Amino acid sequence: MRKLRIALTKGRLEEKTTRLLEQMGYDVSELRNKGRRLILDIPGSGLEAVLAKAADVITYVEHGVCDLGVVGKDTIMEHGGSFFEVADLGFGRCRFALAVKKGNDFYSGYAEKTVATKYPNVTRRYFAGKSMDVRVIKIEGSVELAPLLDLSDGIVDIVETGTTLRENGLEVQEEVADVSARLIVNPASLKMRKKELEPLIAAIEQAAGQP
Ligand code: PRP
Can you tell me the distance from the alpha carbon of 71 to that of 52, in angstroms, rounded to the nearest whole number? 10
Q: Please choose from 78, 122, 142, 168 the residue to mutate so as to test ligand 1's pocket, defined by most ligand atoms within 8 A of CB.
A: 142
Instruction: List the beta bridge partners of residue 94.
Output: 179
Instruction: List the beta bridge partners of residue 84.
Output: 185
State residue 44's pLDDT score: 83
Is the C-beta atom of 164 inside 6 A of ligand 1?
Answer: yes
Measured from the CA of 140, which atom of ligand 1 is nearest? Answer: 22
Is the C-beta atom of 200 inside 6 A of ligand 1?
Answer: no
Residue 2, helix vs strand vs coil = coil
Distance (angstroms) between ligand 1 centre and the Cα of 73 equals 15
Q: Please choose from 118, 123, 139, 160 the residue to mutate so as to test ligand 1's pocket, defined by most ligand atoms within 8 A of CB.
A: 160
Each residue's pLDDT, cut to its tens digit, for the chain (211 residues) gives: 889 999 999 999 999 999 999 999 999 999 999 999 999 999 988 899 999 999 999 999 999 999 999 999 999 999 998 999 999 999 999 999 999 999 999 999 999 999 999 999 999 999 999 999 999 999 999 999 999 999 999 999 999 999 999 999 999 999 999 999 999 999 999 999 999 999 999 999 999 985 4
Neighbours of 180 (CB within 10 A): 17
Which DSSP symbol is given to 64?
T
State residue 125's pLDDT score: 98
Distance (angstroms) between ligand 1 centre and the Cα of 192 equals 38
Neighbours of 46 (CB within 10 A): 11
Which region, left, alpha or beta, applies to residue 78 given φ > 0 means left and ψ of -120 to 50 means alpha? Answer: alpha
**Spatial CA neighbour of 120 closest among 155, 82, 146:** 155
* pTM reported for the whole predicted model: 0.94
Is the C-beta atom of 160 inside 6 A of ligand 1?
Answer: yes
Measured from the CA of 163, which atom of ligand 1 is nearest? Answer: 14
State residue 210's pLDDT score: 56
Can you tell me the distance from the alpha carbon of 38 to that of 139, in angstroms, rounded to the nearest whole number? 27
Whole-number Cα distances in Å, 43 to 3, 14, 101: 11, 18, 50
Hey, whose CA ends up nearest to atom 22 of ligand 1? 141
Q: Please choose from 159, 172, 179 the residue to mutate so as to test ligand 1's pocket, defined by most ligand atoms within 8 A of CB.
A: 159
Can you tell me the distance from the alpha carbon of 11 to that of 4, in angstroms, rounded to the nearest whole number? 22
CB-based contacts of 142, cutoff 8 Å, min separation 6: none
Measured from the CA of 157, which atom of ligand 1 is nearest? Answer: 7
